Chain A
Amino acid sequence: MEGSEEDRATRRARKWSIDLESGEEPDYRFTLANERTFLAWVRTSLALLAGAVAIREFVESFAFRGARRGIAACAAGLSAVLLVLAYRRWVRAQRAMRMREPLPPSVGIPIVASVLTVSAIVIGVLVILG
């Protein structure tokens, strides 16, 4: 039982850190591509953050009280979620490349696509209602 606890702790630690000793160093072009992907997610997150403040500050109020604040808060919250997912994906992709394993799927893209779709519909309705 203790062993399985230890295994779970090891697996948890592996999700959030890169062991630069295990496996072998991949082609540096793949390493840099992984780094660029991480940076692209950071930029997406920063854009959502600035967008959240801009919505709160520059967009006129909708007919529904609190809708503007809610949309801005959702954007800022999504920003934090995407950052955590981006870091986790960067770590997992780097480890997969070192171990010559298949790259992990991206969770962030379906999340962003879903949230943007729902946001577009909600904002569209709010704009129509005035």
Chain B
Amino acid sequence: MTDGLASERTREAWARTALAALVYPIVLVRSAEGRAWPVAALAVLAMVAAGALSVLCGVRTRRLANGAVGPLAPSVGLGITVVTALFAAATVGVVAT
């Protein structure tokens, strides 16, 4: 017996994460109004990163749907961690000024 629901739950988790990633740049765009250009640049970069995560989500979701249930590549997890941590560090600068 196989648990196809585990795969489905994981695909939904990816979709939720991609959606959650969209909220940050939207709030940042609102915050960029009337502020220095680096904040606007950060908002644009965050949009691009959220788009990249959506593409990643699509690729992973398709693989899972096709039955490729192997572990996520460590480099992908590391990439998500590093990019988001860099945004977090930049956000500290944005909110503290």
Contact = CB atoms under 8 A, between A and B. Distances in A.
Task: Report whether chain A binds chain B.
Answer: yes
Interface in A59-117: 69, 72-73, 76-77, 79-80, 83-84, 86-87, 90-91, 94
A52 B95 contact: yes
A120 interface: no
Interface in B1-32: 3, 6-7, 9-10, 13-14, 16-17, 20-21, 23-24, 27-28, 30-31
B85 interface: yes
A32 B88 contact: no
B87 A49 contact: yes
Contacts, number: 118
Given A16-B78, A49-B24, A55-B95, 11 more contacts: A20-B74, A32-B9, A40-B13, A42-B20, A52-B95, A56-B94, A57-B27, A57-B30, A72-B96, A77-B92, A80-B88
A53 B10 contact: no
State the majority secondary structure of interface residues on A.
helix
Given A29-B6, A79-B91, A42 B23 contact: no
6 interchain residue pairs of minimum CB distance? A80-B88, A72-B95, A56-B95, A76-B91, A28-B69, A87-B81
Interface of B: 3, 6-7, 9-10, 13-14, 16-17, 20-21, 23-24, 27-28, 30-31, 64, 69-72, 74, 77-78, 80-81, 84-85, 87-89, 91-92, 94-96
Nearest to B9: A36
A45 B31 contact: no
Given A53-B27, A72-B95, A73-B92, A80 B85 contact: yes
Contact of B13 (A16, A17, A36): A36
Nearest to A42: B17
B35 to A, nearest CB: 10
Contacts of B13: 35-36, 39-40
